[in-house]
């Protein structure tokens, strides 16, 4: 049911783990099935230098987490905010329809991590 690419990212997920001195952390839950994804971002000069994730979820959730971290790396914050769940799914050669909701987790985690980064900035000012 999963594409080769999904299975490949699931088998060998990229960027697993946490960034201890992360500049932004986004923790989101999937209200549908109860899964959780945490994304850690290292940001310098408005650009995402590094990204890592931890996910408790299905094969699709792990694969989209992995792909999302790959996609955001090197992007500016504005660019990263343009990434949609569809884009993540497409980068994985698609997801089965009943697994599309898992990719929403990835999009939301990126947004939440950037939101956290911005909130910290506001506090620092």
Q: Under rule CB under 6 A, which residues in 47-66 are in contact with ligand FES?
A: 57-58, 60-61
Binding-site ranges for other proteins (CB under 8 A):
7, 10-11, 13, 16-17, 27, 32-38, 53-62, 98, 101-102
Distance CA 108, CA 125 (A): 26
Full DSSP string of 4-26: HHHHHHHHS-SSBS--TT-SEEE
114 binds, among other proteins, ligand FES, none (CB under 5 to 8 A by kind): none
Q: Under rule CB under 6 A, which residues in 81-110 are in contact with ligand FES?
A: 99, 102
> DSSP state, 94?
-
> DSSP state, 74?
T
Measured from the CB atom, is 52 or 73 closer to other proteins?
52
Q: Which residues contact 71 (CB under 8 A, 6 or more apart)?
A: 80, 83, 87, 88, 91
* The one among 23, 35, 107, 116 contacting ligand FES by CB under 6 A: 35
16 binds, among ligand FES, other proteins, none (CB under 5 to 8 A by kind): other proteins
Q: Which residues contact 115 (CB under 8 A, 6 or more apart)?
A: 24, 26
Measured from the CB atom, is 66 or 117 closer to ligand FES?
66
Minimum distance from residue 116 beta carbon to ligand FES (Å): 22
């Amino acid at each position: 049911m999963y594409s080769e690419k999904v299975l490949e990212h699931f088998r060998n997920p990229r960027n697993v783990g946490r960034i201890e001195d992360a500049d932004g952390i986004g923790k989101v839950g999937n209200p549908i099935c109860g899964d959780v994804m945490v994304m850690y971002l290292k940001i310098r000069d408005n650009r995402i230098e590094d990204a890592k994730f931890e996910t408790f979820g299905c094969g699709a959730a792990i694969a989209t987490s992995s792909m999302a971290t790959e996609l955001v790396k090197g992007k500016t914050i504005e660019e990263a905010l343009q990434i949609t769940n569809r884009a993540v799914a497409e980068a994985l050669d698609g997801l089965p329809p009943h697994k599309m909701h898992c990719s929403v987790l990835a999009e939301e985690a990126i947004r939440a991590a950037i939101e956290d980064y911005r909130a910290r900035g506001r506090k620092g000012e």
